[in-house]
Amino acid sequence: MSKIIRIGTRDSALALYQAKTVQNQLKELGHQTVLVPLKSTGDIVLDKPLHELGITGIFTRTLDIAMLNGDIDIAVHSFKDVPTQLPTGIVQAAVVKRGNVRDTLVFKNNEEFLGSRDAIIATGSLRRRAQWLNRFPTHTIVDLRGNVNTRLQKLEDSDWNGAIFAAAGIGRLDIRPEDAVNLDWMIPAPAQGTIMVVALEEDTETIEILAEINHKETEICTKIERDFLRKLEGGCTAPIGALAFIKDEELTFEGILLSKDGTKKIEVKRVKAVGEHHDIADWCANYILDRGGNRLMDELKESHVKTNIYSTKSLTEDQRFLFSDKVKAESSDFVKISLNRIHPRFLKNEIENVVITSQNAVEALLTNYSAVELQFKNIYCVGRRTKKMIEKRIGEVLHTEKNAKKLAEYLVDFIEGTEVTYFCSDVRLDDLPEILTKSGIKVNEVEAYQTKLDSIELPETVEGVMFYSPSTVQSYKKENEGTGIAFCIGETTAKEASKHFDDVRIAKVPTVESVIELVNEHYT
């Protein structure tokens, strides 16, 4: 292969280890590669929104977006973190030979507590929690999140008796304590211990290369486990375990479904000859469902924590899926938009300088006029998504900034002429017109749309609110006090929120998904 294969990976120690494993296998086959570690989410350069593409997994979405953007050629994942439905245009291309599949118990001191009535065990996994409580119902489970090294340090600094890890993770990083023990009685997560590689469906050349490192036995077993998971979960996060393995030409499958507190458990085990195993996942899932699994899944779907996060913008189902298990998020539109009729007198001649600070203004313009009728010489805007929308539907943007204040400061120094036409809302910040006016630049404001503040009083259980514009903050304040945490999409929104909240946090990039990441970080 002539090109260098760009391998996308998260930047944690374990993710990098897994990516290097794939890199070394490709190198042995004579292929050139380069690692591309990624940390934060970027905008996707496609016409469809994320939810329409099926981008969901909290641990995989950054790499999905990078691949669809063309920034990487392949992505390496812990297979158990990958959603059962891959995004449109992305396919599974290889799985590496499986490592240690088991869960491992790491002790704080020793294992004597296993015979005691009281003990504290740490895990962030619903599945591990439920299986442990089923075996040790009097023990206390505490939440444990973060990367492997962070979790080991938390165990060291705590008064817990032990913590549960994936054996493959601590083994690959060579940090497994000598006295750690595998929990052979605990059924692992589907595809646990497996490294999986995805590529673009259209990139047939790369897919053919990755087929050379695919481990067929691991592929067969993990497919069965994930088919079992897909059949059971129905979009609900549930304590589900699944393990398939091949020995002496026989395939053995073990599956389990539990209630979250471990008091209810339904298990299945089935053995089939290799070659006659193709219906085993479906058979075992139906076995579970027919023996109370349907009722248990309904209970799991109905059980929920009280709302602790509220979004001031309605969230899609796929966006809801991105939240961690500790978040119960509700949402509604605190700001409703009504597009105005824009009088032809504002557009009768070519306008030299146009300022647009939101996608709503773009929609208003295009609702009133065709792109051909919008004769703008220089267009200045706020935000990458607004820029993308303008350039796709109206014309080239001369310059863009992250917020209105920075755009005004730029215009003071670099504008052509001394006049701008500003398409805005009836509710807007004063920064841009004030800065330009003080510098002798005439601002012709055209009210392109109206903003209606339409908030509700939030429950007392809400610990944090997600904001996407200064208007959403202002709307929130009509019915609520500024308590808890303000999770903000950008600096301008954060500036408004800081008038009412003591704890204000800003997303890494201005997307709803990045604000969700910010929320999840708080609950890690």
Residues 465 and 448 in one domain: no
Catalytic option among 81, 143, 325, 333: 81
Residues 466 and 325 in one domain: yes
Please give the angle made by the CA atoms of 265, 271 and 276, to the nearest 5 degrees: 130
Asked, for residue 223, whether it belongs to a domain, the answer is yes
Residues 409 and 299 in one domain: no
pLDDT digits (tens, 9 = 90+) for 231-285: 987 545 689 999 999 999 999 999 999 998 899 999 999 999 999 999 999 999 9
DSSP state of 293: I
Three-state DSSP at 483 gives: coil
Residues 410 and 349 in one domain: yes
Asked, for residue 319, whether it belongs to a domain, the answer is yes
Residues 6+ apart with CB under 8 A from 280: 224, 244, 251, 253, 270, 272
Asked, for residue 221, whether it belongs to a domain, the answer is yes
pLDDT at position 235: 47
Q: Residue ranges of the alpha helices (H) in 342-469?
A: 359-368, 384-393, 404-414, 431-438
Q: Tell me the sheet residues that pair with 354.
A: 379, 421
Last residue of a domain, one of 182, 206, 237: 182
Residues 395 and 438 in one domain: yes
Q: Report d(CA 166, CA 189) in Å as an integer.
A: 9
Last residue of a domain, one of 257, 285, 303: 303
Domain hosting residue 231, numbered range = 216-303
Q: Which CATH number characterizes residue 317's domain?
A: 3.40.50.10090
Concerning whether 81 is annotated as a catalytic residue, the answer is: yes
**Per the structure, how many domains does the chain have?**
5
Q: Which CATH number characterizes residue 228's domain?
A: 3.30.160.40
At residue 423, what is the residue type? F
Asked, for residue 326, whether it belongs to a domain, the answer is yes
pLDDT at position 236: 54
Candidates 21, 18, 259; CA nearest to 126 is: 259
Residues 20 and 39 in one domain: yes
Residues 461 and 324 in one domain: yes
DSSP 123-191: -S-HHHHHHHHHHSTTSEEE---S-HHHHHHHHHHSS-SEEEEEHHHHHHTT---TT-EE-TTSPPPTT
Asked, for residue 464, whether it belongs to a domain, the answer is yes
Residues 35 and 142 in one domain: no
Residues 316 and 169 in one domain: no
Q: Which CATH number characterizes residue 143's domain?
A: 3.40.190.10
Residues 352 and 437 in one domain: yes
Asked, for residue 187, whether it belongs to a domain, the answer is no
Last residue of a domain, one of 137, 163, 182: 182
Residues 112 and 163 in one domain: yes
Candidates 169, 184, 159; CA nearest to 102 is: 184
Residues 415 and 515 in one domain: no
Asked, for residue 420, whether it belongs to a domain, the answer is yes
Those residues of the chain that have pLDDT short of 50 are: 40-56, 235, 304
Asked, for residue 31, whether it belongs to a domain, the answer is yes
Please give the angle made by the CA atoms of 136, 323 and 88, to the nearest 5 degrees: 115
